A and B are shown apart, each in its own frame.
Chain A
Amino acid sequence: MGRYVVRRLLQMIPVFIGATLLIFLMVNVMGDPIAGLCGERQCDPATAAQLKRDFGLDKPVWQQYVTYMGNVFTGDFGTAFNGQPVTELMASAFPVTIRLTIVAILFEVIVGIALGVVTGLRRGSPVDTGVLLLTLVVISVPTFVTGLLLQLLLGVKWGWIKPSVSPDATFGELIVPGLVLASVSLAYVTRLTRTSIAENKRSDYVRTAVAKGLPRHRVVTRHLLRNSLIPVVTFIGTDIGALMGGAIVTERIFNIHGVGYQLYQGILRQNTQTVVGFVTVLVIVFLVANLLVDLLYAVLDPRIRYV
């Protein structure tokens, strides 16, 4: 187990370097980081040169990357060009997005798995067909359309929720945005659970459990669900990173000042340090979530041994 974790951690290093380097190159090579600093005007050449020296932008890109990563590992994510430390932006943005992600994951786990179990057990019934059609529709409608429609209906027409979220972004306010963020994954969780349950329903161990007289709910929760959840857990685990990074659209629609909002602003203003800093953290979240998922397998499936 210990050796397995160490090996996985080592495997993460090239992926981490690759992903951050890729984003670093995209941001640095594609855009002129100075361009956003002088407002709408062009910077005058002397100022531009001075700024480039100050931010170390006159050095080769690889050197900038190494310096940057060195700083990151001492907890210094640099300064946004407006003078605010990037860590300060993160401290305000990440709690909001984490709350939003928690709401989304809860929707996926509770609603998604419940619907998947119900439809998987009654494959071919009207409920099954209905839910299956609904998941197809949810998958097909892009998130920004779902979000705008829910905002229009619940927020503007019926007045059930406030159309935009306050800076506090409490859990209560995040329910609808969380549902929007979760919607597509929710449909996948439902379909995955359904497929998995329907497949395992015919397996020998379920028949044995039924044959030895276990009550139905025990067969389903203890035997069937536990084995069927393995692909679902994988999906939800890898989804955590995607949800946090994919909240750009949802956060924009509901005016939530989280990671997606900061990233969007950073990209529009060509704020290199902000973008690279946030992406670095997101990549770490993604990798750690993947590692945790792999370790969770052992809990769900004792046959899996890590050597």
Chain B
Amino acid sequence: MSDHQGTGAPEGVIAPTGMGGAMDLAASEAETLEKTPGGPLGTGPAGKPRSLWSDAWRDLRRNPVFIISALVILFLVFISLWPSAIASGSPLKCNLSKAQEGSQPGAPFGYDGQGCNVYTRTVYGARTSVTVGVLATLGVAILGSILGGFAGFFGGFWDSILSRITDVFFAIPVVLGGLVLLSVVTSNTVWPVIGFMVLLGWPQISRIARGSVITAKQNDYVQAARALGASNSRLLLRHIAPNAVAPVIVVATIALGTYISLEATLSYLGVGLKPPSVSWGIDISAASPYIRNAPHALLWPSGALAVTVLAFIMLGDAVRDALDPKLR
């Protein structure tokens, strides 16, 4: 029995605590993907073999969940690029005399405790969330796949070391790590938050990538390519990576939602972004003392946050279903 299978249980079901459970669940569900890395080579109507990806794309286009969540995400990306297109005025322009007022022309969501326009702030808040989510996911996915991929491919000593390191990271609760690391940061940009997420998030992806590379490298076509004298880099890039990347994509999509949620949580606790940055977490935190008199200032950013996270999680769900041939 090898070191890592010592538990006697399938690795995929060991849901590590870390970035919130979403990724854990995705991890265990994505596990099934690894067993069929090549995808079915069904023949399409034209008699041309279809790849796993074109098959998945065909499934996705007909999936209403995918279409709705993709539309929501496109809309979010649009308003984070051009918030002024649908919201006039600056999110930082506040008028105390209007504090806590309800919905009215020019401010459909009313005003918050400082007299800021809740609608404008909610629209501008999307940029922070989308930026943090996308960049943190990219960072985590790249770092995690590289480390996990190499560990899985080469095995041996460095693999054991990496596995122990990921164990260490899983033992530290995420919100706690964020509080400790970010409480001393004075810079008020998204970068420390993103950096922290990459620092604590990569073990999750690296575990998935390692597992799927190990599965993929045992395939006959990889053995055949190796027998033909392919170099390690060619094996990794041409033969293993394309067949091991699906679980990583699924987990990363779902993780994107949890990073957005984590950014809001950290900002709520006062260590993520700080005013005058505009973030849903900051707005929710600022609105909670006025919860009796002006619940709308709390509900709109919360709703926007929930819809955003939901869209990414549903997208990940849909992608997973499409990439998992077992469900067809």
- A complexed with B: yes
Q: Which residues of A contact B (CB under 8 A)?
A: 4, 7-8, 11, 14-16, 18-19, 22-23, 26-27, 30-31, 136-137, 139-145, 148-149, 151-152, 156, 184-185, 188, 191-192, 195, 230-231, 234-235, 238-239, 241-242, 245-246, 248-249, 252, 263-264, 267-268, 270, 275, 279, 282-283, 286-287, 294, 297, 304-307
Query: With an 8 A cutoff between CB atoms, is B216 at the interface?
Result: no
Chain A residue at minimal CB-CB distance from B306: A141
Inter-chain contact B171/A31, CB cutoff 8 Å: no
* Chain B residue with Cβ nearest A291: B7
Which applies to chain A's interface (DSSP): helix, strand, loop or mixed?
helix
Contacts of A267 in B (CB 8 A): 179-180, 183
- CB atoms of B268 and A144 under 8 A apart: yes
Out of A140, A249, A252, name the residue touching B257 (CB < 8 Å).
A140
Q: Are B172 and A22 in contact (CB under 8 A)?
A: yes
Q: Which residues in B have some Cβ–Cβ distance to A below 8 Å?
A: 1, 6-9, 13-17, 20-22, 24-25, 28-29, 164-165, 167-169, 171-177, 179-181, 183-184, 257, 261, 264-265, 268-269, 284, 288, 291-292, 295, 298, 302, 305-307, 309-310, 313-314, 317
Bound CA span A300–B306, Å: 37
Question: Chain B contacts of A7 at CB under 8 A?
Answer: 6
One of A8, A11, A287 near B171 (C-beta < 8 A): A287
**Prevailing SS type, chain B contact patch:** helix
- Residue on B nearest A27 in the bound complex, by CB: B180
With A26-B177, A264-B269, A297-B8: A283-B310 Cβ-Cβ less than 8 Å: no
Q: How far is the CB of B31 from chain A (nearest CB, A)?
A: 10
Contact residues in B for A234 (Cβ distance below 8 Å): 9, 13-15
A27 to B176, CA, bound (A): 11
- Inside 8 A of B29's CB, which chain A residues have their CB? 195
Q: Is there contact, CB below 8 Å, between A140 and B171?
A: no
Instruction: Given contact pairs A14-B168, A152-B291, A192-B15, enumerate 12 new A-B contacts (beta carbons under 8 Å).
Output: A22-B168, A26-B177, A31-B183, A144-B264, A144-B265, A144-B284, A145-B305, A230-B9, A234-B9, A241-B17, A249-B265, A297-B7
Nearest A residue (CB) for B271: A267
Known: A152-B295, A184-B20, A230-B13. A140 touches B306 (CB 8 A): yes
Contacts of B17 in A (CB 8 A): 238-239, 241-242, 286
| Chain B, Cβ-Cβ closest to A163 | B291
Instruction: Determine whether the beta carbon of A18 is less than 8 Å from that of B164.
Output: yes
Question: Are the CB atoms of A306 and B164 closer together than 8 Å?
Answer: no
19 A-B pairs with CB atoms under 8 Å apart are: A18-B168, A18-B171, A23-B172, A136-B313, A137-B310, A139-B309, A140-B261, A140-B310, A141-B305, A148-B302, A188-B24, A231-B13, A242-B173, A245-B176, A267-B183, A268-B183, A279-B172, A297-B7, A304-B9
In the complex where A15-B164, A140-B309, A267-B183 touch, is A252 in contact with B15 (Cβ < 8 A)?
no
- What's the Cα separation between A195 and B321 when bound, in Å? 13
Residue A19 contacts which of B15, B168, B284 (CB distance < 8 angstroms)?
B168
Complex CA distance for A279 and B269, rounded to whole angstroms = 18
Partner of B28, one of A19, A231, A239, A305: A231
Which residues from chain A contact B13 at a C-beta distance below 8 Å?
A: 230-231, 234-235
Interface centre among A19, A238, A242, A275 (most CB of B within 10 A): A242
Please list the 3 inter-chain residue pairs (A to B) with the smallest Cβ-Cβ separation, ordered nearest first: A245-B173, A18-B168, A242-B17
Least distance between B188 CB and chain A CB atoms (Å): 17
Which chain A residue lies CB-closest to B174? A246
Distance in Å: Cβ of B176 to nearest Cβ of chain A: 5
Q: Nearest chain-A residue to B270 (Cβ)?
A: A268
